Amino acid sequence: MSSFLAYTIFGLFSGAAYAIAASGLVLTYTTTRVFNIAHGAFGMVLSYLFWDFSVKQGLPIWLSLVLVLFVVAPAIGWFIARFVAKGLGEAPVSVSLVVTVGLLVGCIGFATQVYKPEARTVLPFFPETSFSLGETNITAHQVITILASIAVAVGLYLLLNRTRIGTAMRASVDNPELLKLFGGKPEAVATLSWMIGISLAGLGGILLVSTVGLDTYSLTLLVINAYAAAMLGRLKSLPLTFLGAMGLGLLSSYAPVYLPQEGLIGSVDNVVPALFLFIVIVAMPQAQLRIGQVKGIVSAPLPSLPKALGWGAALLVFVALLSGTASEANLLLVGTAATYAIVMLSLVLLTGYGGHVSLAQFTFAGVGALTYAKLDEPNLYGLLVSALVAAGVGALVALPVLRLTGLYLALSTLAFAAIMDKMLFQADFAFGFNGTLPAERLSILGMSITSTSGYVFVMAAFFVLMAFALLLVRRGVIGRMLIAMRDSPAACGTLGLDMRWFRVGLFAASAGMAGLAGGLYAGLRQSVGAAEFQFFNSLPLLLLAVVLGVTSVTGAALGGTGLMLLYNYPDAQGLLFILIAVGAVLLGRNPNGLAIYLFRLGNWLQGRLGPVLLSRLPALPADDERPASRNDDSVVEEDETTVTSTVVAGRPAGEPREVPAHVAR
């Protein structure tokens, strides 16, 4: 009985810390309609600052707490509200999620650059003070955490429901223009919400750091517990959020003790928060969130088929030249970039064309790699089976979440990825006792590709073929249906289109593409492990895919290269973070990402340099010298998909080009 009481108290203590963090998350969303993926990352950074003030600088604990929670955290919240999250609540789901994922990556980058990995200890509050409850010992830190959670829950409830500021917070979301007519200030209200939310994230992290430890990723990923509690309250009910956090804390405390510790069930205690989140999202009714599907995105202009073939051939020539000169280590990095680019192609299909956000693409790649290594069939048949198995897993994931959209769908895929990572990939029957499996290089039609240079070229060829197939799909009937379902699901339903099973097929196709990338990656490295497919990696994957252009094949190629540089070149991380930050800001103006600006630059150069180059060509024959078969009245038709509403080639869309007189003859 005493042990049960001890586990209960520890569960209540953990749940209280989760409740504090989740309350800040709910407050931010309730008043701004922005779901802050980086909530836990801010708590992690503020925990590091608390350690810096109290331990490294030697300031009193109470002064360090005041500086972190009432000076630094509100300043961060003010900056985000003014310069990052302004108007983000009405943005497409991919944009709003990606901006906060960018904040998460930035927080991790700041922490890893400023606080190098080393052993750090943060003592609990009043470590020498404790109380006895029967045979169970209760520390003062646990009591403070539980009381603080109750105070935060009651205070926020009173703030939102019993004060004019709280009324203005809720009104700023429902009708900000009407609030302005009554003298309210929606921007000031949103700023206050962000300031309070970041402070609560810091308080939750500081209260947990003495138990969890001052670790960058552990503190960041604890926010999944806050997600689960917040989703139980459907991001608007503080009492349900508090109840969910306490229940989650108790489940997390009881699971390692009372569940069997053998076989697959023995790893359930590692995924209790993710399971809780997945079950809550699937089982509970979906609230009407402002964050819906990816709307408002105008697809990037499609290249003509000859132009697509030309660019594909140019890429293959470039990779062939690079393969002949690069070292073995650099070739492996080029192959890794090709793997990431193929995975991002799967996001182009799912997110860019279909309008659905998935945070489990690396998990599907892991399924493909695991299948390829287990089959021991290093040929096209084994690669095809790997893709089909990953596609089947993607379809199974889509089935229970058929009715989910937007934020609910993204978080359910994140929960699924966490479950796969902690339960399946970490199991002994998956990647073995040592966590890695051997894999052989791919053979095509009986020809084994043993050299790294040849294998990298084959991976580039797969990327080009899949990209070309994706462009063909986009041009066809299925592509038009995808865009229509993305832009107006209600209209498609009115026309009788069955979007549910179409979505299952879309998820399966996207997961199959990611699984094929995983199989190719296993052959490239010739050994594959669970650590390479952690669910956390899907966050920067989505970030770079959307920032660089999730609606275009070019964006996928750039994103794969950027992700490889981010993981393998620490010296280039600063520049990449700047590029990501600029891209995240520009997403508000154009959700097609940075790739669209490259297209415009290319069109501008073509419009400027094309006439100059044409003017230097020899003059064409006179009219009477032309062949009789030439039809002078013929015109060159442009592909309608290459014409956008923006200025193309230095002229408004639809305006004829100006060419030199001797060329026009």
pLDDT in tens, 514-556: 999 999 999 999 888 888 888 888 888 888 888 888 888 888 9
Q: Decide which of 509, 534, 559 is a domain's last residue.
A: 534
Are residues 385 and 331 located together in one domain of the fold? yes
| pLDDT score for 613 | 65
Q: Tell me how long the chain is.
A: 665
Same domain, 71 and 179: yes
Domain-located, residue 590:
no
Residue 133's DSSP bridge partners are 136
338 and 459 within one domain: yes
Please tell me the distance from the alpha carbon of residue 18 to that of residue 153, in angstroms, as a whole number: 12
Q: Is the pLDDT of residue 620 over 60?
A: no
Whether 168 maps to a domain, the answer reads yes
Q: Are residues 441 and 319 in the same domain?
A: yes
* Segment 178-193, tens digit of pLDDT: 666 666 677 788 888 8
Q: Rounded to whole angstroms, how far apart are CA atoms 26 and 173?
A: 13
CB atoms within 10 A of CB 329: 9
Domain that holds residue 426: 308-534
Check whether residue 343 and residue 479 sit in a common domain.
yes
Q: What is the pLDDT of residue 299?
A: 60
- Write down which residue in 499, 534, 569 finishes a domain: 534
Would residue 257 count as lying in a domain?
Answer: yes
**What phi and psi, each to the nearest 5 degrees, are found at residue 84?**
-120, -50
Instruction: Tell whether 66 and 195 lie within a shared domain.
Output: yes
Judge whether residue 645 has pLDDT over 50. no
On whether residue 563 sits in a domain, the answer given is: no
**80 lies in the same domain as 214:** yes
Contact 198, 72 (CB under 8 A): no
Distance (Å, whole) CA 574 – CA 106: 10
Q: Are residues 507 and 382 in the same domain?
A: yes
Q: What is the DSSP string of 212-245?
A: H-S-HHHHHHTHHHHHHHHHHTTTT-HHHHHHHH
Contacts of 636 (CB under 8 A, 6+ apart): none
119 DSSP β-pair partners = none
pLDDT tens readout for residues 219-260: 887 777 888 888 888 787 888 888 988 988 888 888 887 777
Structural domains counted in the chain: 3
Confidence (pLDDT) at 295: 42
576 pLDDT tier (thresholds 50, 70, 90)? confident
The per-residue pLDDT for 497 is: 72
Amino acid identity, residue 102? G
CATH code at 226?
1.10.3470
Asked if pLDDT for residue 294 goes beyond 70, the answer is no
What pTM does this model have?
0.81
The pLDDT of 58-86, averaged and rounded, is 91
Is residue 230 located within the same domain as residue 362?
no
Same domain for 337 and 444, yes or no, is yes
Nearest Cα to 329, choosing from 564, 515, 557? 564
239 with 357, same domain? Answer: no
Looking at residue 77, its pLDDT comes to 92
Locate 64 and state its tokens.
């360090």
Task: Tell me whether residue 558 is in a domain.
Answer: no
Mean pLDDT computed over every residue of the chain: 80
Kindly state whether residue 582 falls inside one of the protein's structural domains.
no
Q: Which of the listed residues 268, 283, 298 is the one where a domain comes to its end? A: 283
Residue 182 lies in a domain: yes
- The pLDDT of 33-58, averaged and rounded, is 90
Tell whether 352 and 419 lie within a shared domain.
Answer: yes
